[in-house]
Structure 1
Amino acid sequence: MSKVFKQSEVAEHKKPESLWIIVDDDVYDVTKFAEEHPGGKKILQRVGGKDASKQFWKYHNESILKKYKAQLQIGSLEGKAPPPAPKEEPKKIEAKVVPMQAGPAAPVVAAEAELKESLEPFGDLVPFGDPAWYQGYHSPYYNESHAALRKEVRDFIEEKCEPYLNDWEKNKFVPHEIYKEMGTRGYLAGLLGMGYPTELTSHRVASVPPEKWDLFHEFVVTDEICRTGSGGFVWNQIGGYAIGLPPVMKYAQKALKERIVPGILAGDKRICLAITEPDAGSDVANLTCEAKKTEDGKHYIVNGEKKWITNGIWADYFTVAVRTGGPGMGGVSVLLIERSEGVTTREMDCQGVHGSGTTYITFEDVKVPVENLIGRENAGFKVIMTNFNHERVGIIIQCNRFSRVLYEEAMKYANKRRTFGKKLIEHPVIRMKFAHMARQVEATHNWLENIIYQCGAMGEHEAMLKLGGAIAGLKVQATVTFEFCAREAVQIFGGIGYTKGGVGAKVERLYRDVRGYAIPGGSEEIMADLSIRQSLKVHEAMGMKL
């Protein structure tokens, strides 16, 4: 049981050799920590023996408290209010599987159409700080399994990741144990845009049976890990994995999948997608990395370069677009290249997404068995194109949650910070900023939910044809919203939002990550044009009348 102190007892410990402070009625011994305090020991000494809550929350967020609480807290003040009683379990809501067309996409699990109950409110209930279904609003897309998964992932992130993100950002490194735990918790296996691959992994998600797993569960996992407000962390965990493994799962030979996939799903091995080259980004059809067959026809010899490859620096496997035939899209194939002699990886130093392992790769006479061909020879362009929808939806999910994070962090700060005699939120000009942030975030989120539902309802071929244009347009919507919210959040935070660490850490970090989302997966300009061109073609085939 925590030791109880009187205020007068704490007041006695105000000297450098014995320095205690109070934060939210908890007592902390910061005597030894004073030398390590980023703001210097004098700041702590000024509040020695006193309640430092106001000063603490001005410069720090909850993750800092969680990080140091276990080692520094020695008790609580006499009369501290007990923690609130746990909420009652939400009412049981039966769900049904909605019949879908045949195809690899998982079925969408939705609540009964006639059901009027909403799920239990969850989170801090800042208006628009979480999706509407978190806050007691009705939705046709989610049931109790989604709510249980939401809590499971949030608990994991808040305990194992949030307190250490500033350090990981500074070091541009996330401990491998976190990725490994993503595997053992079963999350990695559920992030592939398809049904849960029980035949290739023994790991399971605690709160969701594999047969009930759907695209909205994948949405929840990605959405919740993005609450860290770190593109680098998210890309470290799923950036290369979620785009490098799906082509293998869908198009590789069974023997290859059985050999390499279990280790990847367990978090023991890593994989990345290598398409972009120094001179071929969005123009995939003109890539030059070459793969020539040996005279005996048993191997490909690969030579070429790839650039801006997420997770490449530590990848064991590379899903690589190569040229096996003539010019243009008809000469492109996809190979699974294993790290071996001739594969050189060099980490790139980028503006943002620190810790994502962005890499320059050189292939020099790399020998690859023909069994590692993914799909058919010279038909790799289809493999790449079908993979883009899943990649772009992942980017959209991340951008939209990051926009919410920026909004929520700024809203909490605006309700604490005072200027000209009143809180920031009491200034109309500040409220206008929040209004424009919220309307864009909610518009993006609702379009996103509809797209995810359609992805589950359609077979893969239909989804690729019908949804490619809409997904391209939504990516533009998401990245433009992200950039807008990043700018407005920094304006609200002022200098604190421009400074690394402290209460504005997420805002400063995300501001640097913006361009890392607007360009990869198809730049905004190309995506906007593609959205209309492809949509016109699809609707012309459907009988459009102009």
Structure 2
Amino acid sequence: MTPPAALTLEFVSKHNVEGDLWIIVDSSVYDISKFATIHPGGLSVLLNGDIAGQDATKAFYGLHRSEILRRPQYARLKIGELVGRDEQQQNVPPDAIGSTSSIPYAEPTWLAPGYRSPYYKDSHRQFQLAVRQFVEDVIFPDAQRHEEDGKPPSQHVFDEMGRLNIIAMRLGPGKHLQGRALMRGIVKPEEFDHFHELIIAQELGRIHARGYSDGLGGGTCIGLPPILNFGKPVLRDKIVPDVLAGKKFISLAVTEAFAGSDVAGLKCHAKRVKDGWVVTGTYARLPESPKDRSVYVPLFSVFAARTDAGGLVVLVIPRSDGVQTKLIKTSYSTAAGTAYVTFDEVHVPYENTLGSDNGGLQVILSNFNHERWGLTCGAVSAQRTILEECLKWATQREVFGKPLASQAVVRSKLAQMIARVETSQNWLESITFQMVHMNYKEQASKLAGQIAFLKMFTSRNAQDTARDAVQLFGGRGITRSGMGKFIEHYHRTLLIDAVGGGAEDVLGDLGVRQALRMMPKNVRL
């Protein structure tokens, strides 16, 4: 039957039997006659007197995410709009790609309408819009697909990131940006600062794919800076251009079963020989997706090893016959490419040495502040996306005949979530402002403790938010599909940030020790 031009509630109600079944969601009318027989919940659910031929909006959104209606296979079931709809029945249009959310606290304050910030300029706002559009259009679909199937990020994503110089910008401001068109020229290399970098990290934190996120460049962000800062020109020239273009991949490994957070206790051994080093030992390599999809190891990896003199040396070790890898399954997706690496008498050319022969500890420690700051940027953003999910759910979900948000205990949980994420965001922006106005030496002496505290504070808050979110979503919050899929994913993977870059307790102690070193002598109460 061809639907009439004017679809009334009375007319729709006549289509309420098997083979002739219509429903209303918001104010849109859908003919689900053919789909009903393959409905995952069974035909009987749809023939319910409150659904068949009726306004099924409340029932639909109690079981499905709105994104379902935008999928082509379901969108084509729509046959028209209900006539005489009022404002309450209007469809809420999906957010356009690149747009900001209208949900309170779903965005940092500087992006909310009517608010101001001393940190961000027009270039930051234009940059944010461009980055979000790219993330939602190019990265998000690939992320959701491969977080699930465990495969590395697609090469076309790396290619596009390289073309826009996003890979280079994720390393922060510096000489490596000179002569590059950043996001099609939205920001000039000399204007690019840590707030632009913060924007990239926070937009990437919104993709609900923690393993894929690490595979998309986590290794490069921490593995390439030591080469830029300590590598010999011939080594930089051989590696850096292709890595920044997304054609080659790199990772960093300072995680060893014998040492963990005690980097100075590494046991992997490097023996000095005439033309280089011979390396023997084991590592759990931090993530990065390979170009060669047959093995989970990049072309180059940055490793630290103990020398015969008792110091540490940091080496860039290419894939070779003596390097063996085995995939490690963690609490997040294998899209990250985390691997167990063994070296069996691997020869490394001397030109691959970063820094001095026994000065490796300085190379390693120089990397930590930026790594921890970057992890915190993403962690705060991810936490905010969970807050948005909870706010939406609390207003649409009904219990005992009222919205979930009508319960005082629910509002209390939401209040704590908001307070946590806003506190972390404001502390993060304060530290970022200091980074913009400090050189590297000042950052190391004044911000190492603050960054350590912030990362500890944020990751602990994340655990509270994850627990509260699961309680709000109930059974859906522990289900890897459907309404609470992002809640389940967040709860399962958030501890990656609690241990990455240093365990929480280690970072807390680091911050206190730095504060104690700065205490005035002979101070008294």
Normalized against structure 2, the TM-score is what?
A: 0.86
* Distance (whole Å) between structure 1 residues aligned to residue 503 and residue 73 of structure 2: 43
For the residue of structure 2 that corresponds to 1:227, the secondary structure is coil
For the residue of structure 2 that corresponds to 1:224, the secondary structure is helix
Distance 1:383 1:460, change over 3 A: same
1:336-358 Cα deviation digits (max 9, x unpaired): 11122212221111123552121
Distance 1:172 1:15, change over 3 A: farther
1:156-204 Cα deviation digits (max 9, x unpaired): 2333344565543321233333233222222111011333623586774
C-alpha deviation, 1:379, in angstroms: 0.6
Report the equivalent of 2:350. Answer: 370
For the residue of structure 2 that corresponds to 1:285, the secondary structure is helix
Distance 1:238 1:49, change over 3 A: farther
Report the equivalent of 2:485. Answer: 505
1:258 aligns with 2:237: yes
**Is the contact made by 1:304 and 1:364 (CA closer than 8 Å) also made in structure 2?**
yes
Distance 1:362 1:464, change over 3 A: same
* Distance (whole Å) between structure 2 residues aligned to residue 138 and residue 287 of structure 1: 47
* Distance (whole Å) between structure 1 residues aligned to residue 17 and residue 297 of structure 2: 48
1:168 aligns with 2:151: no
1:210-257 Cα deviation digits (max 9, x unpaired): 232111011111101211233223212132121111111111112211
For the residue of structure 2 that corresponds to 1:247, the secondary structure is helix
Report the equivalent of 1:323. Answer: 306
**Is the contact made by 2:21 and 2:53 (CA closer than 8 Å) also made in structure 1?**
yes
Q: Which moved more, 1:233-242 or 1:369-378?
A: 233-242
Distance 1:132 1:203, change over 3 A: closer
Q: Which of 60, 67, 90 matches 2:64?
A: 60
For the residue of structure 2 that corresponds to 1:371, the secondary structure is helix
Report the equivalent of 1:277. Answer: 256
What letter is aligned with 1:221?
I
Number of equivalences: 503
C-alpha deviation, 1:299, in angstroms: 2.3
Report the equivalent of 2:109. Answer: 132
1:7 aligns with 2:16: no
Distance 1:209 1:32, change over 3 A: farther
1:46-69 Cα deviation digits (max 9, x unpaired): 767765543443233344444546
For the residue of structure 2 that corresponds to 1:245, the secondary structure is helix
**Is the contact made by 2:7 and 2:80 (CA closer than 8 Å) also made in structure 1?**
no
For the residue of structure 2 that corresponds to 1:487, the secondary structure is helix
Report the equivalent of 1:483. Answer: 463
How do 1:232-247 residues align onto structure 2 when only pairs under 5 Å count?
232-247=211-226
What letter is aligned with 1:259?
K
* Distance (whole Å) between structure 2 residues aligned to residue 485 and residue 441 of structure 1: 9
Normalized against structure 1, the TM-score is what?
A: 0.83
1:298 aligns with 2:275: yes
Distance 1:83 1:458, change over 3 A: same
For the residue of structure 1 that corresponds to 2:486, the secondary structure is helix
Q: Which moved more, 1:227-236 or 1:257-266?
A: 227-236
* Distance (whole Å) between structure 2 residues aligned to residue 458 and residue 158 of structure 1: 33
Report the equivalent of 1:516. Answer: 496
* Distance (whole Å) between structure 2 residues aligned to residue 177 and residue 476 of structure 1: 35
Unpaired segments ≥5 residues, structure 1: 88-120
For the residue of structure 2 that corresponds to 1:352, the secondary structure is coil
Percent pairwise identity: 36
* Distance (whole Å) between structure 2 residues aligned to residue 451 and residue 352 of structure 1: 29
* Distance (whole Å) between structure 2 residues aligned to residue 390 and residue 14 of structure 1: 60
* Distance (whole Å) between structure 2 residues aligned to residue 430 and residue 238 of structure 1: 37
**Is the contact made by 2:270 and 2:280 (CA closer than 8 Å) also made in structure 1?**
yes
C-alpha deviation, 1:42, in angstroms: 6.1
Report the equivalent of 1:428. Answer: 408
C-alpha deviation, 1:293, in angstroms: 2.4
C-alpha deviation, 1:128, in angstroms: 2.2
Q: Which of 389, 393, 413 matches 1:409?
A: 389
How do 1:29-178 residues align onto structure 2 when only pairs under 5 Å count?
39=41, 52-68=56-72, 72=76, 76-77=80-81, 123-135=100-112, 136-163=114-141, 165-173=143-151, 174-178=153-157
* Distance (whole Å) between structure 2 residues aligned to residue 10 and residue 163 of structure 1: 35
Distance 1:359 1:82, change over 3 A: closer
C-alpha deviation, 1:260, in angstroms: 1.3
Distance 1:510 1:373, change over 3 A: same
**Is the contact made by 1:497 and 1:504 (CA closer than 8 Å) also made in structure 2?**
yes
* Distance (whole Å) between structure 1 residues aligned to residue 286 and residue 162 of structure 2: 22
**Is the contact made by 1:22 and 1:53 (CA closer than 8 Å) also made in structure 2?**
yes
Unpaired segments ≥5 residues, structure 2: 290-295
What letter is aligned with 2:501?
G
What letter is aligned with 1:54?
K
C-alpha deviation, 1:265, in angstroms: 1.1
Distance 1:30 1:172, change over 3 A: farther
Distance 1:54 1:467, change over 3 A: same
Q: Which of 409, 424, 444 matches 2:424?
A: 444
Q: Which moved more, 1:509-518 or 1:156-165?
A: 156-165
**Is the contact made by 2:379 and 2:497 (CA closer than 8 Å) also made in structure 1?**
yes
Report the equivalent of 2:319. Answer: 339
**Is the contact made by 2:29 and 2:82 (CA closer than 8 Å) also made in structure 1?**
no
Distance 1:52 1:303, change over 3 A: farther
What letter is aligned with 1:211?
E
Q: Which moved more, 1:460-469 or 1:201-210?
A: 201-210
Distance 1:82 1:58, change over 3 A: closer
For the residue of structure 2 that corresponds to 1:378, the secondary structure is coil
Let me know the Cα RMSD of the aligned residues. Answer: 3.2
* Distance (whole Å) between structure 2 residues aligned to residue 161 and residue 73 of structure 1: 28
